[in-house]
């Protein structure tokens, strides 16, 4: 298995990757991550596009994309653990590992998705069990209220779970102003866009800037009914313009052109929180 970027990875970590006792595709993947980290790929947080890493990136994403009820349980559980008689043992086994993992992530130059720290909520779920150590009759009520609030919050975004953001940050409708990439838009709404166009604008040509690896012709987009803005930039668009929010965030050089063909103001539709549709001109 060959990967030109993986082959360019250098340094002690790349050497270690070459000797890992795992299948070759896994070693290639590790080398690719090493190359990616060293070459300062793009990140996006709170409306700012940058290269490299920000210390606040992963802590911010955990707070934004975790339901408020669950955050409350984490806080109560941690407080219960650190005030326990066995706090040294509990902290060492339950709180130190996720803190170590979070610190490693914060030092990374790869600021993409919250999935890179997905193991941290696992430890926090265990920490939430510290709630049972509280000496109050209200602990059962607190647990039920927090879990119910979290369930309702997540249910509210069905079926667009990838674009989840809690209410303190405006919910999924505002997430594209705070984060990007797999936190909101990983190309998951191309089929929904195709279905929406078929129902609401049959036969109308569409200019599409899509963030994803799925061939767009697999969902009915071709040269006869659409422009692929990755490969051509028409001077005028007599139809619709559909823009993935991650593509818009990651390619600011295209913003003047997109405004010239009608991408400004309020979109006429938003598809699954990740694709905005405008009227072209």
Q: pLDDT tens across 21-58, in order?
A: 878 787 787 777 777 677 677 899 999 999 888 999 99
How confident is the model over 243-252, as pLDDT tens digits?
A: 999 999 999 9
d(CA 172, CA 177): 10
**Cis previous bond, 82, omega within 30:** no
Q: Look at residue 269 in the predicted model and tell me its pLDDT.
A: 93
Q: What's the pTM?
A: 0.83
> Based on the number of CB atoms within 10 Å of its own CB, is 90 exposed (0-12), middle (13-18) or buried (19 or more)?
buried
> Residue 212 has what pLDDT?
86
Q: What is the pLDDT of residue 90?
A: 84
Name the nearest CA neighbour of 122 among 93, 87, 85, 79.
93
Considering only CA atoms, which of 243, 177, 188 is closest in space to residue 44? Answer: 177
Q: Which residues does the chain have with pLDDT short of 50? A: none
- 115-141 burial, b for 16+ CB within 10 Å, e for fewer? ebbeebbebbebbbebbebbeeeeeee
pLDDT at 279: 93
Start-to-end CA distance of the chain, whole Å, equals 46
Q: Tell me which DSSP letter residue 93 carries.
A: I
273 CA to centre of own chain = 12
Measured between alpha carbons, how far is 232 from 194 in angstroms, rounded to an integer?
20
Q: Residue 242 has what pLDDT?
A: 95
Q: Count helices and strands (H / E) in the chain.
A: 12, 7
**CB–CB of 194/221 below 8 Å?**
yes
Tell me, what's the pLDDT at 162? Answer: 93
């Amino acid at each position: 298995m060959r990967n030109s970027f993986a082959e360019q990875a250098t340094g002690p970590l790349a050497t270690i990757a070459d000797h890992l006792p795992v299948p070759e595709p896994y070693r290639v993947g590790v080398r690719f991550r090493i190359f990616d980290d060293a070459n300062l790929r793009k990140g996006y947080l709170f409306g700012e596009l940058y290269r490299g890493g920000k210390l606040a990136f992963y802590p911010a994403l955990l707070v934004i994309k975790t339901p408020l009820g669950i955050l409350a349980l984490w806080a109560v559980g941690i407080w219960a653990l650190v005030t326990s008689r066995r706090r040294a043992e509990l902290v060492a086994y339950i709180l130190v590992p996720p803190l170590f993992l979070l610190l490693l992530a914060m030092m990374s130059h790869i600021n993409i998705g919250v999935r890179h720290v997905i193991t941290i909520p696992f430890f926090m779920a265990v920490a939430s069990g510290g709630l049972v150590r509280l000496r109050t009759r209200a602990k059962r009520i607190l647990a039920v209220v927090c879990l119910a609030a979290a369930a309702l919050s997540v249910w509210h975004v069905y079926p667009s779970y990838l674009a989840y953001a809690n209410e303190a940050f405006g919910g999924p409708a505002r997430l594209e102003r705070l984060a990007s990439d797999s936190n909101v838009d990983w190309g998951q709404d191309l089929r929904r866009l195709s279905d929406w166009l078929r129902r609401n604008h049959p036969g109308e040509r569409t200019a599409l800037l899509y963030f994803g690896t799925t061939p767009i012709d697999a969902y009915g987009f071709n040269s006869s009914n659409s422009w692929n803005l990755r490969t051509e930039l028409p001077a005028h668009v007599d139809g619709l313009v559909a823009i993935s929010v991650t593509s818009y965030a990651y390619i600011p050089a295209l913003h003047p052109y997109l405004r010239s063909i009608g991408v400004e103001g309020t979109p006429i539709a938003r598809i699954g929180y990740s694709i905005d549709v405008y009227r072209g001109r």
